[in-house]
Chain A
Amino acid sequence: MALAHAEVGNKAHAPKKRAKRIAYFLLAPGLTWLLIFFAFPLINLAETSTKTPAPTFETGEFVQTFRFSNFVDAFVNNQEQFFRSFLYALIATLFALAIAYPLAYAIAFRSGPWKNLMLILVVAPFFTSFLLRTLAWKQILGAEGPVVSALQFLGILPPEATITATAFSVILGLTYNFLPFMTLPIYASLDRIDYRLLEASGDLYANGVTTFRKVTLPLSAPGVVAGTLLTFIPASGDYINAQLLGSPENYMIGNVINSRFFRVVDYPTAAALSFILMATILVLVVIYIRRLGTDELV
């Protein structure tokens, strides 16, 4: 008996080692990818963020002086845009959630034979570029566009008023552009729910609304968490929507980074801003996931 045991133990050991090696081997491409496209640029960015203009004052020439107060300056001078970025991203995330959840629910439970078609329609916007779609919204919401004319005709909008160049249109753009990122994870988690659990809930005296609150919603929580993160994170760093659908009054931190980098050619400030943005998002995400509790993420 003991002998048989030892033998089994030995046999199990060798494949384990090999499995480990295979795991590393399979991870290698991913790790390399991360190294090249994430770690290197990040190190480069970190290095740039503490530089100061070269004594020659030549455009684009900077020297390393380890000036950490670059971060303080960058933050203090752009507090307003930081705040606006997170505010717009938050509102857009909430709007997207409000639209995406019912949509995902309908696709998962009520679409019958139209399920695949509806899923294709959700991702269909991806077939054209992000920029093009945002420009299209600029047209739609613009002074000569159908929305403004209609609202003015109905007397809802005063004759001189516009929709573009307002916070509303920027948030609308953000909501629209990131909607599929919200819809797909929620759909995936709803679709995975065993229909029999909903029947069991009904069998245990829960009506439709209670079943939704007590069973469907908690079971779709992982999808909601994923969707809100996938919307909030890129939305808070976005600058296209603010640039095309807003005015300088609506500029977000992405716009500042963009102009620091390409127009003012102030690489250290752009780098410092990027770092602050990244760190803030990271902190917010950690708080968010902590507050929801890992329990909900079954």
Chain B
Amino acid sequence: MSEPKKVQGDLVLSHVTKSFGDFTAVDDLSLTIPKGSFFALLGPSGCGKTTTLRMIAGLEEPTSGTISIGSTDITDTKPYERPVNTVFQNYALFPHLTIFENVAFGLRRRGIKNVDAEVERVLNLVELSHLKSRKPGQLSGGQQQRIALARAVVNKPALLLLDEPLGALDLKLRRQMQIELKWIQTEVGITFVHVTHDQEEAMTMADTVAVMNNGRIEQMGSPAELYENPRTVFVANFLGQSNFIDGSIEGTDGDNVIANLHGVRIVFPKTRNNANGKAVKVGIRPEKFRLHDAGSSAAGNVLTGGIITDISFFGVSTQYMVEMPWKQELMVFEQNDGGAPDLAKGDAVTLSWEPQFTFALDGTDPSQAK
């Protein structure tokens, strides 16, 4: 029986590194997760998400760096001493215990005598109270997932860690559980750290998303911020699709930067410039482009001389592939709301977009599309 430390506050990882032999799984990671927030750690498989969570849970020891909650340093405490609970990737329910006892496990270990009311309350929260005398083996994947959540939530930890908890569920159940998880988080007010490689999941659920790549945080922010203003090619490509046009910066004009893209001058706000030198990769999301018949005038940044090479109809929108004079194909999404001209393959077109939708990345950014 060990009472976890009664600590509250923001979770702070400070210069945390984890190496396995000479392989660095987590590389000098520093981040602050505000108390009560729904935080998503998003990244491709193998980028170090699970390792990060395991270090927070105490199941893995950082090679260097410190982890603290509020002002309490928990780096050297045992897992059972931390006010942290985990919903494991594979659920890890105890097969020999009933659902009730699985959920009561943490409470009993802390010496709480009357667990019935609490267990019942949490089982009701996940709507599985009627299954409490069953064994985990008799539950479906989705039900097991909810029990794993209940087993963690019942302890009212300062921090709840979720390691791809929806990974094994089919798409429909996944979407449903995403909504439920979000609702439960608001209900219990616990800080959730949710690990996922599904960008849609991270974007719809989290207040703050940290995009992780090769053991490092590439960028952190609200879902909208990450989508609208990604600072690296990796982030831009991990969250949706983008067009990148190579160019060079020529100067500034008030709050705007002037850049030259294959002989065409465009502008974008200084606040959206992430280029270190003159070389720049100008990023435009496909849905930000407007298509016009060649020769017609357009406002904002304008690229002329495009030829439509392919059209795919998606229902809500249509995707056009447009070949530019410098032989680059750009992707354009147009809403099927009658706003776009009637176009066919081979038509000459002009592209335009609002300068504030531009995100300018460093021209030497080596990241490749995912």
B31 within 8 A of A: no
Bound CA span A199–B58, Å: 10
Contact A200 B92 (CB under 8 A): yes
B80 within 8 A of A: yes
B96 within 8 A of A: yes
Q: A204-B151, A210-B1 are in contact. Are A219 and B95 (CB under 8 A)?
A: yes
Q: A194-B92, A197-B92, A219-B95 are in contact. Are A207 and B80 (CB under 8 A)?
A: yes
B176 within 8 A of A: no
A298 to chain B: closest residue by CB: B96
Tally of contact residues, B, Cβ under 8 A: 26
Complex interface: chain A residues within 8 A of B58 (CB)? 202-203
Q: A196-B90, A215-B94 are in contact. Are A202 and B59 (CB under 8 A)?
A: yes
B155 within 8 A of A: yes
Q: A204-B106, A205-B4 are in contact. Are A199 and B92 (CB under 8 A)?
A: yes
Tally of contact residues, A, Cβ under 8 A: 20
Question: Which one, A199, A210, A218, contacts B109 given CB within 8 A?
Answer: A210
A205 to chain B: closest residue by CB: B109
Bound CA span A298–B86, Å: 25
The minimal Cβ–Cβ distance linking B262 to chain A, given in whole angstroms, is 54
A192-220 interface (Cβ within 8 A of B)? 194, 196-197, 199-207, 210, 214-215, 218-219
Binary per-residue interface labels of chain A (25-56) against chain B in the complex, 1 for a CB within 8 Å, 0 otherwise? 00000000000000000000000000000000
Contact A203 B78 (CB under 8 A): no
Contact A298 B95 (CB under 8 A): yes
Contact A207 B78 (CB under 8 A): yes
Bound CA span A221–B97, Å: 13
Contact B88 A202 (CB under 8 A): no
Bound CA span A218–B95, Å: 10
Complex interface: chain B residues within 8 A of A219 (CB)? 95-96
Complex interface: chain A residues within 8 A of B151 (CB)? 204
The minimal Cβ–Cβ distance linking B29 to chain A, given in whole angstroms, is 21
Contact A203 B2 (CB under 8 A): no
The minimal Cβ–Cβ distance linking A292 to chain B, given in whole angstroms, is 13
Known A199-B79, A203-B58, A204-B155; 14 more pairs at CB < 8 Å: A196-B88, A197-B94, A199-B59, A200-B86, A200-B92, A201-B94, A202-B80, A203-B59, A204-B106, A205-B4, A205-B110, A207-B2, A215-B96, A219-B96
Could you tell me which B residues sit within 8 Å of A by CB distance?
Answer: 1-2, 4, 57-59, 78-80, 84-86, 88, 90, 92-96, 105-106, 109-110, 135, 151, 155
30 interchain pairs, CB-CB under 8 A: A194-B90, A196-B88, A196-B90, A196-B92, A197-B92, A200-B88, A200-B94, A201-B94, A201-B105, A202-B58, A202-B59, A202-B78, A202-B80, A203-B57, A203-B58, A203-B79, A203-B84, A204-B155, A205-B1, A205-B4, A205-B80, A205-B106, A205-B155, A206-B109, A207-B2, A210-B1, A210-B109, A215-B94, A215-B96, A298-B135
Could you tell me which A residues sit within 8 Å of B by CB distance?
Answer: 194, 196-197, 199-207, 210, 214-215, 218-219, 221, 296, 298
